Amino acid sequence: MFITIEKREFIEGIQKIIRFTQHGATSLPVLSCVLIIAGDDGIKFRANNLEIAADFKISGKINTNGVVAIPAGILQQIISTLNNNGVITLEQTGDTVIITTDHIKSTIKTISQEDFPNIPAIQNKETLSMDSKILTSAVDTTISCASTSNIRPELASIFFTLTVNSMTVVATDSFRLVEKTIPVSLSIKQDISFLVPAKNISEILKTIPQSTKIHIYIDEHQLVIKWDENIITSRLTGGTYPDYKQIIPKQTTKKAVVLRKDFDALLKHTSIFSDSFQKTTLMFNPKEKTVSLSSHNNDTGSSTGSVPAEVSGDPIELSFNYRYLQAPISLTQAENLSLHANNIGQPLIVRSVGDNSFLYLVMPMNQ
């Protein structure tokens, strides 16, 4: 193999692809490598960590075809020393590759690419197309509520439901839940539901350019996303997602509407005095037409405050981890939030006023 690539192109390509290589000790050393392929389809950088596989097209000149596996750690260190000007050449000689740039020549020992796993072929030829910013927006709204523990893999995943006219994305860690529904026209024959590991979809979306048309394929065991001449695949999470609709109250008897910025400021202040359990108490005060927050810490003191609110229903007092109350504030840009409750021990629902596409549910702490 002998190829020439603009340094800027090489640096950006390596920076993107190495996030999908295997990090740390591995029984298959080739997984910690970037596979560089020069062939009839052009130059490609490929990586596979058994969770995600990626194949990116790179612009450059091919003098001689070939395939070489180079340790990602070495490539990362090399690009950290390069500027964006000029070109870089890669020449394979036996079990080494010579990288030449400016007045520097480096000889790197390569690893046999024979054990490098192929990217699984797409079995389902049905494709969904959308703007990448739609997918990014939905995932950004929900991913913070996915579990960070892998004890229950389905809770460490994002749940997607696709219909002909919408995409609904859900995440929960069993303490809180967020649902985001985005109108989008999809050419599908029937509704589709699937689970993607949250960490996988997060890494994938860091790589896909914004406002790019993407094509999505869903097989039984994998999600495939294509754009331009690039492809990324992720394994899907097995198992069944909880029937989360069952825990969302169909009706509520108590409601309060508050200005988001006022509620945010009050919560930030009262949370300073929360205890070791990060407990903050929320109160609906229909007579005073306010929503109150209070917290108490035996070591530092206490704080109580209120904000004006449109309140309906009877008074209620519920305690929450203040971080879980804070979460929906950053997940929506609506001017007003509506808070919905029923009885002590039952969940609080937070919605954006004027935006039915967003729903946040949080369970109260034991009284």
**Are both 355 and 253 inside the same structural domain?**
yes
At 123 the pLDDT is 76
Q: Spell out the residues 6+ positions from residue 325 whose beta carbon is closer than 8 angstroms to its own.
A: 267, 280, 282, 362
Q: What is the CATH number of the domain that holds 32?
A: 3.10.150.10
* Bridge partners (DSSP) listed for residue 87: 6
Decide: 148 and 171 in contact? Cβ < 8 Å.
no
**Are both 166 and 254 inside the same structural domain?**
no
**Are both 162 and 146 inside the same structural domain?**
yes
**Are both 238 and 132 inside the same structural domain?**
yes
In 3D space, the residue among 64, 61, 33 whose CA is nearest the CA of residue 47 turns out to be 33
Percent helix, strand and coil across the chain, each to the nearest 5: 20, 45, 35
367 lies in some domain? no
Q: Residue 202: how many CB atoms within 10 A of its CB?
A: 15
> In the listed set 76, 109, 142, which residue is the last one of a domain according to the structure?
109
pLDDT tens for 202-241 read 999 999 998 899 999 998 899 999 999 999 999 999 999 9
Q: Domain total for the chain?
A: 3
If you average pLDDT over residues 103-111, what whole number do you get?
95
Which residue range is the domain that position 138 belongs to? 128-244
Chain center to CA of 227: 18
Decide: 143 and 156 in contact? Cβ < 8 Å.
no
pLDDT tens for 252-280 read 999 999 999 999 999 999 999 999 999 99
78 lies in some domain? yes
pLDDT tens for 55-99 read 999 999 999 999 999 999 999 999 999 999 999 999 999 999 999
> In the listed set 218, 244, 270, which residue is the last one of a domain according to the structure?
244
Residue that wins the pLDDT comparison between 176 and 190: 176
In 3D space, the residue among 317, 331, 337 whose CA is nearest the CA of residue 263 turns out to be 337
- What is d(CA 235, CA 74) in angstroms, rounded to the nearest whole number? 27
At 122 the pLDDT is 79
Q: DSSP character for 30?
A: G
